[in-house]
Amino acid sequence: MRSVRSAVALAGALALSLVAGCAKGGGAGAGGNTVTYWLWDANQLPAYQACAKGFEKENPGLKVKISQLDWDDYWTKLTASFIAGTEPDVFTDHIQKFGQFADLKVLEPLDDLGIDASDYQPGLADNWIGQDGRRYGAPKDWDTVALFYNKKMTQSAGLTPQQLNSLAWNPKDGGTFEKAIAHLTVDVHGKRGDEPGFDKHHVKVYGLATGGGGDGDGQSTWSSFAASAGWNYTDKKRWGEKYRYDSKTFQSVITWYFGLAKKGYMAPLTDYSAGANPANAQVAAGKAATALDGAWMLSTYAAMKGITFGTAFTPAGPTGKRATMMNGLADSITKNAHNKEGARKWVRYLSSDACQSVVGRYGIVFPATPEGTKAAVAAYGKKGIDVTAFTEPVTDKKDFRTFTFPITNYAADVFALMHPAMQGIYGSGRSVGSLDQTNDQINLILSQ
């Protein structure tokens, strides 16, 4: 409950900052004709600098000042800026943070920007409607999750791209997916995971890398499996009132998933070092043959020395469908933006084809508009990167299910409870049934 008190304290601090915010002025150091803009992805910085040039050309007299901060520093400094009254005019927003920011009333409504949901990939625009029915984010980009694999290792194991694209799983015996992961696992004596004499305590190459316990969302760990089993995070698609970590379906998925580590097919928690996404580090080091990872990591995998990678769809689950989280970022305007009119023009430009097509041509991310996405696919193609495993789930609703992060208030509190709970199950043998109590604690917070 400590995190709940922190949230209440933050709410009070933010409320005070809102009273003084206009007097202090957001975006310290910016001139009256400057729009301040924050983002966290260094890889995207050149693309948005190019957009800023286009914007400034169309809006003489207006300038855009872009600040890029690393992920952890970004949210810490953004929260601090709200309290100090030095917030940027515009910032890149994440759906997990949006609920609490909207609840604390530090975001400016964007209903007058003329955002039409049909201008973007399905579902992206609707995610940014608050509980009050107002819009607080303009669609920016999107990503999905797929299976990255080391081509040399899969070829050595006799697994073809066609086989990898047709894998299926279930929580009872793991299906063809577990069989493939087991076969890709090799111990220090050269025995594969599905061969007699395999030593699960001394593994040289794991069949599957993972990014830890997955906290409460499991974006690039267990979420695809849970969703393909028919599970949903909450009782409602958006602004859920109850989480469902106590679901027997969910707990059967988690039991199977972390059971892969007990069998020696997936690295134990102790093998992962601190980092933004340790799964890719395992693949880069040649210690894992595959990893479920997001489209935002394409350039990272492409830059791995001595490794040629391929991508495949997530495995089909008990529902018969393949599933992947489809996360979408947005640009939001702060309530106390010092240059609110300039901020509105900048956000309108950021969400337009004029900017998103430019961003797409950098081949770093999939922009939210179809034209921006098309430009990104072409850019990846020029780099020799096939992105079908990421794009097809968005267009093929018959065979694929896409879903988003749970959209609720108090995401920080959910993380504070679920992070140690999932790490405990993964690394310390904690009972999966203990999630019943964790789920009760979370739902108690949501009911406040």
Per-residue pLDDT at 424 exceeds 90: yes
Residue 162: CB atoms within 10 A of its CB come to: 8
**pLDDT given for residue 334 in this prediction:** 98
Per-residue pLDDT at 325 exceeds 50: yes
- The full 3-state SS of 60-118, as one line of letters, equals CCCEEEEEECCHHHHHHHHHHHHHHCCCCCEEEECHHHHHHHHHCCCECCCHHHCCCHH
Average pLDDT, the chain: 91
**pLDDT given for residue 212 in this prediction:** 83
Q: Is 5 exposed, middle or buried (0-12, 13-18, 19+ CB in 10 A)?
A: exposed
Query: pLDDT digit string (tens) for 348-405?
Result: 999 999 999 999 999 999 999 999 999 999 999 999 999 999 999 999 889 999 999 9
Give me the residue label for tokens 């920007």: 113
Could you tell me whether strands 186-187 and 203-209 are parallel, antiparallel, or unpaired per DSSP bridges?
antiparallel
**pLDDT given for residue 279 in this prediction:** 87
Segment among 19-28, 231-240, 280-289, 311-320 with least mean pLDDT: 19-28
Query: pLDDT digit string (tens) for 146-176?
Result: 999 999 999 999 999 999 999 999 999 999 9
Return the structure tokens found at 97: 């943070």
Per-residue pLDDT at 202 exceeds 50: yes
Per-residue pLDDT at 19 exceeds 80: no
- pLDDT band for position 30 (cuts 50, 70, 90): low
**pLDDT given for residue 108 in this prediction:** 98
Per-residue pLDDT at 10 exceeds 60: no
Delineate the domains of the chain, giving CATH numbers in brackets.
Answer: 2-142+329-390 (3.40.190.10), 145-325+410-446 (3.40.190.10)
**pLDDT given for residue 277 in this prediction:** 55
Residue 140 backbone dihedrals phi, psi, to 5 degrees: -120, -60
Enumerate the β-bridge partners of residue 438. Answer: none
Per-residue pLDDT at 13 exceeds 50: no
Q: Give the residue, 342 or 72, on which the prediction is more confident.
A: 342
User: Percentage of residues in the chain with pLDDT exceeding 70?
Assistant: 92
d(CA 380, CA 387): 7
Query: What strands lie across the sheet with 203-209, from one edge to the other?
Result: 186-187, 203-209, 288-294, 145-150, 309-312
- Please provide the DSSP assignment of 235-285 as one string: SSSSS-SSB-TT-HHHHHHHHHHHHHHHTTSB--GGGPPSSS-HHHHHHHT
Enumerate the β-bridge partners of residue 66. Answer: 37
Query: pLDDT digit string (tens) for 74-99?
Result: 999 999 999 999 999 999 999 999 99
CA-based nearest residue to 113, from 128, 103, 98:
128
E strand or H helix at 437: helix 435-446
Q: What is the pTM of this model?
A: 0.91
Q: Output the CA–CA distances (angstroms, integers) from residue 180 to 165, 168, 203, 253, in the order listed.
A: 11, 10, 16, 18
